[in-house]
Amino acid sequence: MRKLTVKDVAKEAGVSTATVSRVLNNSGYVSEQVRSQVLAVVKKLNYQPNSIARSLKQEKTRSIGMIVPDMTNSYFMTIARQLQRKCMEIDYHLLIIDSEEDPSKELKAMQVLMEKRVEAIVLAGTGGNQETIRAMSNSGIYILLIDRRIEGITADVVAENNRVAAQEATRLLLQHGHRNIGIIKGPQAIHTAVERYAGVREALVQAGLQVQQDYVYEGDYSRESGIKAAHYLLNLPEPPTAIFSSNNEMSYGLYLGMHELGMDLQDIEVVSFGDLDLSPLFHNRLSVVQQNPAEIGEKAGDCIIDRLARNSRERITPPIVRKY
C-alpha cells in the first residue's frame, strides 16, 4: 500500500518519467497517443502527484500564509474565506494561523510560514514584531497588510477607511442631539483602534465640542472589556446619553453590561463599529458601521495575484497603499 510515484506510472505506461511529468503538467511536446495512454494509467492506479517533491524542485510552494488575530471572529474569517476562494482559483492554498492577538504567537506564526516557504503573507497584525516583518519583507517575501496598518512598516495595505467611518458614525449621534457621548475605544497598539478614536475626536471637535477623558474608556476589543466599559460609563455622575463603541465584541459587552445594571437597552443610543447579530432588533437605538470583510478578502486576493503574476524578484516598486 505504498504511495505511487511517477516512476510507477512511467513503468506501467511504458514511457519515461519525463513524459509522464509532461502529460501531467501540459508542458512540452507529447503525442496525443501517449498522452491518453498515460492519463489512463494515472486514473487506473489512482496516482496522486506528491506536491512536496514538486515544490522542492520548482522552488515554488503555491501557498500563501495568513495570520489573523482571532480565528473565531467571523469578520476575519469572512476575509479568509474570500481569499481562500481566490487562492483556489489559481491553484494556491491558504495557510491560516491564529495569533490570538499575541505578538509572541504572531512571531512564531511568521517563522513557521517562512519555513514553509509561503510565497506571500497576508497579515492582520497585532501591532508588534516590526523588526521581523521588515526583515521578512527585505528577504523577498511579499507581505500584505489587511485591516490594520502597522506603525513603522511600509507595505501594501488593504483596509477600510476607519477614520472617516468613525467620523460619520459620531456625526450621527451629534445630529440626534447628543452632547454627552461616551467612547469605548480599542487598544491603542492596534491601528484600527487609533484611527477610529481619531475619527471620533475629529467629529467632536468639528462640532465645537471637546473630548472629555472621563467619557473615554479603553477596552481591548474583547467582550469582557465591553462589560467593564458599561459599568464604568453608566455609573458616571452624569452618564452619557449615547455611546460610540469601537468594535462589535465590545458592543456585545456593552449590552450585557447594561443588562447587568438592570437598564433598558433602549435607554442609551449606541453606535457600534462592526455589525452585531440581531442588530435589527435594536434598530431604534442602535446603529452600526457596516464593514465589508468580503470585499477586503477580494481585494487582498487581487493584490496577491497581481504580485505573484509578475514573477516578482526584479522590481523594487514603491508600495501601493490602497485604502477603501
Partner DNA sequence: CTCTCCTGTGTAAACGTTTACCTATGTGTT
Partner DNA sequence: AACACATAGGTAAACGTTTACACAGGAGAG
Residues that bind DNA (CB under 7 A): 3-7, 14-22, 24-25, 27-34, 47, 49-50, 53-54, 56-59
Q: What ranges make up the beta strands (E) of the chain? A: 63-68, 93-98, 120-123, 142-146, 156-159, 181-185, 216-218, 242-245, 269-273, 286-289, 321-323
Please say which residue, 31 or 210, places its beta carbon nearer to DNA: 31
- Interface positions, 279-308, toward a second copy (CB under 8 A): 280-281
Give residues with Cβ within 8 angstroms of 117, minimum separation 6: 55, 61, 63
Please say which residue, 99 or 246, places its beta carbon nearer to a second copy: 99
Please say which residue, 100 or 218, places its beta carbon nearer to a second copy: 100
Considering only residues 53, 205, 261, 321, which one is a binding residue for a second copy as defined by CB under 8 A?
A: 53
Cα separation values, 307 from 64, 65, 207, 299, 304, Å: 12, 14, 43, 12, 5
Please say which residue, 113 or 194, places its beta carbon nearer to a second copy: 113
Largest Cα span, the chain:
88
Only segment of 49-57, 153-161, 209-217, 238-246 that touches a second copy (CB under 8 A): 49-57
Indicate which of DNA, a second copy, none lies near residue 280 (CB less than 5 to 8 Å, by partner kind).
a second copy
Give residues with Cβ within 8 angstroms of 258, minimum separation 6: 230, 234, 265, 267, 268
How far apart are the C-alpha atoms of 123 and 67, rounded to whole Å? Answer: 5
Please say which residue, 216 or 286, places its beta carbon nearer to a second copy: 286
- Interface positions, 233-272, toward a second copy (CB under 8 A): 252, 255-256, 259, 265
How far apart are the C-alpha atoms of 144 and 312, rounded to whole Å? Answer: 14
How far apart are the C-alpha atoms of 232 and 162, rounded to whole Å? Answer: 25
In the bound complex, what is the minimum distance in angstroms from residue 161's beta carbon to a second copy? Answer: 23
Indicate which of a second copy, DNA, none lies near residue 221 (CB less than 5 to 8 Å, by partner kind).
none
Indicate which of DNA, a second copy, none lies near residue 88 (CB less than 5 to 8 Å, by partner kind).
a second copy
Cell of 78: 469572512
Rg (alpha carbons) of the chain, rounded to whole number: 26
Give residues with Cβ within 8 angstroms of 15, minimum separation 6: 34, 37, 38
In the bound complex, what is the minimum distance in angstroms from residue 92's beta carbon to a second copy? Answer: 10
Please say which residue, 62 or 322, places its beta carbon nearer to DNA: 62
- Interface positions, 56-115, toward a second copy (CB under 8 A): 56, 61, 71-74, 77-78, 80-81, 84, 88, 93, 95-98, 100, 108, 111-112, 114-115
Give the closest residue to 49 by CA, choosing from 65, 38, 37, 33. 38
Total site size for a second copy, rule CB under 8 A: 47
Cell of 305: 495575484
- Length of the chain equals 324
In the bound complex, what is the minimum distance in angstroms from residue 150's beta carbon to a second copy? Answer: 21
**Interface positions with a second copy (CB under 8 A):** 1, 46, 48-53, 55-56, 61, 71-74, 77-78, 80-81, 84, 88, 93, 95-98, 100, 108, 111-112, 114-117, 135, 139-140, 252, 255-256, 259, 265, 276-278, 280-281
